[in-house]
Amino acid sequence: MISFNSENTFNIDNEEHLSEWLEQVILSEDKKLGEINFVFCNDDYLHKMNVEFLNHDTLTDIISFDYTVGKIIQGDVFISTERVADNALDFKVTFEEELHRVMVHGILHYCGYKDKTEADATIMRSKENHYLQLLANIQ
């Protein structure tokens, strides 16, 4: 089950459609959906989490806590809608496109993909693009 929650005023559109898409991503990666909670928040909220839990004193767009067991994908994904909006401007894409990229990015981490090295980041970006195209095709 995928749930969407907000610690700010943001409300996501098309919850059911996005849930179906993200579940398809998980199934395509030969995994099973457990419980995934997306929590939308502001920069201050996510910054405090970044400092408290990861000891990183920086702004970020996403923090994910992975509770995956075997092939059952589970976790909490915290997304700063302020960072997403700023990044969308920087990358010259819509807010929704950047939000979807960040959402699938979190799911791909749960599926085992990393992005700390340049080679891993290239694979991650390729997967993101592939699944964003899947979303565009099923809309």
Residue 139: its pLDDT value, please? 61
**Residue 17 assigned as binding residue:** no
The pLDDT assigned to 20 comes to 93
**What local confidence, expressed as pLDDT, does residue 50 receive?**
87
- pLDDT tens by residue, 71-83: 999 999 999 999 9
82 contacts 44 by C-beta, under 8 angstroms: no
> Is the whole-model pTM more than 0.85?
yes
Task: For residue 104, give both structure tokens.
Answer: 């699938």
Cβ 26 vs Cβ 46: under 8 Å: no
Check whether 115 is labelled as a binding-site residue.
Answer: yes
Give the three-class secondary structure for 39. strand
CA distance 66 to 73: 8
* Gyration radius from the chain CA atoms: 14
Compute the average pLDDT of residues 104-121.
Answer: 94
Residue 51, domain CATH: 3.40.390.30
Q: Is 13 annotated as a binding residue?
A: no
Q: Which domain holds residue 53?
A: 2-138
Domains identified in the chain, total number: 1
Give the length of the chain.
Answer: 139
